[in-house]
Structure 1
Amino acid sequence: MTLSYCTNVHPAEDLPGVLAQLDRYAVPVRERLGGELGLGLWLSAPVARALAADPLERKRLREALDTRGLVVRTLNAFPYGGFHDEVVKHRVYRPDWTEAARLDYTLDCATVLADLLPDGAAGSISTLPLAWREPWSDAEHGRAVAALDDAAHALRELARRTGRTVRLAVEPEPGCVIDTVADAVRLLAGRVDAEHIGVCLDTCHLAVSFADPAEAVRSIAAAGLRVVKVQASAALELPDPTDARAALGEFAEPRYLHQVRALAGGQVHRADDLPEAFDRLPTGGPWRVHFHVPLHAAPPAPLRSTTDVLRRAMAAVDATCAEPPDVEVETYTWSVLPGGVDDLAEGIAAELRWFSEVCR
């Protein structure tokens, strides 16, 4: 199992900026932890396109990573660009898998990753769960599945040409066409090339769905799908949402979408963002919020994080998966945490230490 941290926490969207951010943050993280450091690299679409078109630039990037002691086995190709704009919200789901730009971006990332992988290693690319759930028609669904078929074909050809296996990991997310692991199993099993397309298990998203972690992992394997990648992350939980606005109000920030689920009366109730949840979700049971919080630091009471879901999911992955997935700590919300963060490199290092001590 390879442990990385996801660089979508950094805002750079050109190659010099990416390298500068790695010098500012990733190298200090590596120095704190010792040894090589895994990166779940995020490249905006223009950077991925430029690198895919230029083998010499890919070689230079590989050398730059090597000299810094940084290892890349996975890319995060969910955000296409503008991930640190003032307002992201639903824009993170565009282009979706009905649009040619999504397939092109994904294959550019695959071309880049094949040249960054350590010798003999397979790689993974996480991607969005087809699209936001609406509007969504049967025709759009057909186009999206056809695009996944095209991606699988291209990944097979990439493996034949380079000897490097790169797999695509579809990431269920609340509010999307593939909202839950159950949706991933229903919509992907038997419909995609399971050698090259599988599931990205984001444990924040898993927690928000209120699914049982072990059952979710087992259902993926039982369906003949692969857990290609795990995004080790934690959601916010409010056990008693009677005064939800007071407890969660500071987390209702304008940049990212923070989907909320409430478990009340034996049912899961849904809201697409915190302001909507305050107005309409029932308060008779716990709420979970799609807000990635640092793994090592408990949020202020009465809030808590869902790290127990992460621990249980990792135990199930270890017990169930024949081939260990790539693992990427993905806390992209440091810049919007209430109170901010004084030392991002130390925060990332602390998360990686926590995971290594608790989940391995």
Structure 2
Amino acid sequence: MRLSHPGGAPLHLSYCTNVHPAEDLDGIIAQFDGYAVPIRERLGVDVLGLGLWLAAPVAAALAADPALRGRLRRELTTRGLEVVTLNGFPYRSFQDPVVKYAVYQPDWTTPERLSYTLDLARVLADLLPDDAARGSVSTLPLAWRDPWNATMAEQAARRLDELAAGLAAVESDTGRVVRVAFEPEPGCVVETTEQAVAHLADADHDRLGVCLDLAHLACAWEEPAAALRALRDAGLPIVKVQLSAALETDEPEALREYVEPRFLHQTRTPAGDAADDLDDALDRRLPAPWRVHYHVPLHVSPAAPLTATTPLLREALAELAGGPQPLCDHFDVETYTWGVLPVALRPQTGEQLAEGIADELDFVRAELRHLGVKA
């Protein structure tokens, strides 16, 4: 949805559709009617923003066919929907029964990742509203950390140079600016703000920057003000913010019911203890407190003794949108884990899922209003 910062800059608030499993165009359009339109109506807004996820095959088909892109834009517009950002992290099959480490493939050493991301940029250039300043595509933070060596780092650096050149070509061809945002995540080559600065120091900062996922920031036990200051000092733009909250607890045994087979739930302690998944952390009995990469709904608190990192989200929003000018203009709610929540917390119908997503967006809208943002 469209918001207005007190300084006059427009802000875009959306929800990420990677929570839905469809990976063909007809299925994606069906999502609009099943979820996006009911969400828009529940929020009482004329236009709802989508952080659209397009799996690689449908992205390639759209990039190759202007008529298909035109159809998708019309299907969005007639329903009061718009797209300024795409999630290009999962390549495909993101809601399969088991995803885990597969989500990091192909990585930024490969031509497949480059081609997919440029396909998304070409598609987004045609989907952008006429009055949008720019588009954004979020992507994985280069690769999972193992294996990683100097040869792979050189390959990734070449891919990023090719990516910047490809984005420049998209702008030349369409007149639209699309930037790509690398998303630090626990366990990856780029996990922290410091690593983002180091690995992207030589990148084209006009076209490449950071996607700041607030659950990931929390799991790294980083403070928002310090993280944002480090990015600003390095000249590394915050291209996109993913609004998310992680689990936190001093009593890890209470997390047993959150163990599930689909996604990795990297676990971190403030002392630097780490596990790649929640079940491993429980087996190893890492010292508490823990923060767990498990995106939980923003508008409700988990049952004690669990909490969510919502206070950090509020701190980050104050830094990002509470100043004289916003530090970012693309904000995307990304709770992709609704379908793997403990059964008692899990939506049982599509209507319940739409209600939950709408409540998350309403929560964020209220938080931004407290900062003076007009919605």
Alignment length, in residue pairs?
351
Contact 2:85 2:136 in 1 (8 A): yes
1:7 aligns with 2:7: no
1:307 aligns with 2:310: yes
How far has the Cα of 1:275 moved from its partner? 1.1
1:165 aligns with 2:171: no
1:210-359 aligned at under 5 Å gives the runs 210-238=221-249, 240-241=250-251, 244-245=252-253, 247-263=254-270, 267-283=271-287, 285-318=288-321, 319=323, 324-339=328-343, 340-342=346-348, 343-359=352-368
1:143 aligns with 2:132: no
How many angstroms apart in 2 are the aligned matches of 1:215 and 1:28?
39
1:179 aligns with 2:191: yes
Q: Output one character per residue of 1:56-83: Cα deviation in whole Å (capped at 9) or x when no partner.
A: 1100100000001001000000000000
Secondary structure of the residue aligned to 1:133 is coil
Contact 1:262 1:287 in 2 (8 A): yes
How many angstroms apart in 1 are the aligned matches of 2:309 and 2:326?
26
How many angstroms apart in 1 are the aligned matches of 2:236 and 2:52?
24
Secondary structure of the residue aligned to 2:273 is strand
Q: Output one character per residue of 1:77-136: Cα deviation in whole Å (capped at 9) or x when no partner.
A: 000000011100000000000111100000000000000001132000000000000001
Where does structure 2 lack aligned partners over 5 or more consecutive residues?
1-10, 370-375
TM-score in terms of structure 2 length = 0.92
Contact 1:129 1:179 in 2 (8 A): yes
CA RMSD, Structure 1 to Structure 2 (Å): 1.2
Structure 1 range deviating more: 95-104 or 316-325? 316-325
How far has the Cα of 1:317 moved from its partner? 1.6
1:77 — aligned with what? Answer: 88
Contact 1:221 1:321 in 2 (8 A): no
1:16 aligns with 2:20: no
Contact 2:320 2:327 in 1 (8 A): no
Secondary structure of the residue aligned to 1:298 is coil
Secondary structure of the residue aligned to 1:2 is strand
TM-score in terms of structure 1 length = 0.95
Secondary structure of the residue aligned to 1:359 is helix
1:198 — aligned with what? Answer: 209
Distance 1:71 1:133, change over 3 A: same
Where does structure 1 lack aligned partners over 5 or more consecutive residues?
none
How many angstroms apart in 2 are the aligned matches of 1:321 and 1:166?
21
1:156 aligns with 2:168: yes
Contact 1:221 1:320 in 2 (8 A): no
1:21-36 aligned at under 5 Å gives the runs 21-34=31-44, 35-36=46-47
Contact 2:241 2:328 in 1 (8 A): no
Contact 1:234 1:292 in 2 (8 A): yes
Contact 1:93 1:131 in 2 (8 A): yes
How many angstroms apart in 2 are the aligned matches of 1:323 and 1:158?
25
How many angstroms apart in 2 are the aligned matches of 1:28 and 1:268?
43
1:125 — aligned with what? Answer: 137
1:98 — aligned with what? Answer: 109
How many angstroms apart in 2 are the aligned matches of 1:162 and 1:206?
34
Secondary structure of the residue aligned to 2:141 is coil
Contact 2:167 2:207 in 1 (8 A): yes
Structure 1 range deviating more: 321-330 or 1-10? 321-330
Distance 1:194 1:292, change over 3 A: same
Contact 1:226 1:321 in 2 (8 A): no
Structure 1 range deviating more: 344-353 or 115-124? 115-124
How far has the Cα of 1:323 moved from its partner? 5.3
Structure 1 range deviating more: 272-281 or 202-211? 272-281
Contact 1:41 1:76 in 2 (8 A): yes
Q: Output one character per residue of 1:239-294: Cα deviation in whole Å (capped at 9) or x when no partner.
A: x23xx23x00111100000000012xxx22111001110122432x4100000000
Structure 1 range deviating more: 43-52 or 337-346? 337-346
Contact 2:136 2:178 in 1 (8 A): yes
How many angstroms apart in 2 are the aligned matches of 1:33 and 1:287?
34
% identity of equivalent residues: 58
How far has the Cα of 1:325 moved from its partner? 2.7
How far has the Cα of 1:322 moved from its partner? 5.7
How many angstroms apart in 1 are the aligned matches of 2:152 and 2:333?
32
How many angstroms apart in 1 are the aligned matches of 2:327 and 2:286?
41
